[in-house]
Amino acid sequence: KKVFPVLTVVLVVVLGCAPGGAPAPTEVAPTSTSTFVQPTPSYAVEVTKDIEYLTLLLRDAPVQKLDVYAPAEPGPWPVVVFHHGWYQSKDGPMYTSFAEELAGRGVVVFVPERRSPCSTLNECAEDNGADLREVHESWDCGVRFARERAADYGGDAGWVTVFGHESTGLETAFMGDDLREAWDAFATNRGGPPPQTECLADSDSARVDAFVGYGGDYRFYEQLGESERDLWALTSPHGLISRNASLEVHLVHGGMDQGTHIERAEEYHQALVNAGYDATQTLLGEDAEWKIPWSGPDRETLIQLIVEVARG
């Protein structure tokens, strides 16, 4: 297996909060402290907040929005779609600081907000997996928006990388443009669910070229019983193997994450390699947990890995 080394570089953490309100870009200058050494290269970042990208088809449901973090310098820059974890928000400081710092390394970062409507696997499977379809379609709309609008922010959408905290977005990375058809076929056989969303940028592809997942349990959906085998095929990382054979997959866990999650990532990595995928696995230091590292060499390793993958 290919394992990225843990670097011993120390870095600046950009903690400036992105402004809210209208989607007008605001320049955020790189900052440094006496504790960290400024990484090179580093660019000022423009943050555009709360751009509508998705309409939920549920009655009275709010329009979902995303943020864009882009280098202030002219591109073209690599493009990353950054999916937050379950029950989290794009506006959480763990996500805003990381997206800002990633953009400062020369990447256009799209960070979609999405709902986490269900709280347990059994609940997610109710109504023929309607909540799961909503989540998958939200990820799909985020990728489509990034491809369609990347050039507006200096990005090159010829290669799109998804970075998912807690492995979010993996299903859409595998299914890409086949996602809607797959869910429609499932719904025909099961009597639902119907489409849950409408993408506001829908003229481009949902294809994903590379996926980087931080944390997560790659056997979570193995809990679905035999009666839910068709739902398993749409949701389980193992069930998705054979789709999008050209997808690069990079699995990353913190050394302090649950041991079972790390073991299951090792198992999944081996399954990907056996199936012919270009896949790597990275284990960060013993202080890194399920949260994205706030500082230090583990954060730097993760950032450099994403930047390298995003460059294609």
Answer for the pair 127, 194: CB distance below 8 angstroms, yes or no: no
At residue 87, the pLDDT reads 79
Of the candidate ranges 53-57, 111-115, 220-224, 287-291, the one whose mean pLDDT is the lowest: 287-291
Amino acid making up residue 114: R
pLDDT higher than threshold 70 for residue 256:
yes
Domain 26-310 has CATH 3.40.50.1820: yes
Q: Tell me which residue of 54, 59, 64, 101 sits closest to 80, measured CA to CA.
A: 101
The pLDDT assigned to 161 comes to: 99
CB 67 within 8 Å of CB 111: yes
Mean pLDDT on 208-212: 98
What tokens appear for 175 in the block?
Answer: 């299914």
User: Tens digit of pLDDT for each residue in 147-161?
Assistant: 999 999 999 999 999
Instruction: Report long-range pairs for 219-228 (Cβ below 8 Å, ≥24 apart).
Output: 219/264, 219/267, 219/268, 220/121, 221/121, 223/121, 224/121, 224/125, 228/125
Q: How many CA atoms lie within 13 A of 15 on its CB side?
A: 8
pLDDT, average across residues 42-48 = 95
Alpha carbon 93 to its chain's center: 16
The pLDDT value recorded for residue 42 is 87
Question: Which stretches within the chain are classed as H helix?
Answer: 93-104, 121-149, 170-175, 179-190, 229-235, 259-274, 296-310
| C-alpha neighbours within 13 Å on the C-beta side of residue 199 | 23
Question: Partners of 69 in the beta sheet?
Answer: 47, 109
The structure's pTM equals 0.86
Please report, in angstroms and rounded to a whole number, the separation of the first and last CA atoms in the chain: 20
Q: How confident is the model at residue 68 (pLDDT cuts 50, 70, 90)?
A: very high
Rounded distance, CA 196 to CA 131, Å? 8
pLDDT in tens, 170-203: 999 999 999 999 999 999 999 999 999 999 998 8
pLDDT digits (tens, 9 = 90+) for 124-179: 999 999 999 999 999 999 999 999 999 999 999 999 999 999 999 999 999 999 99
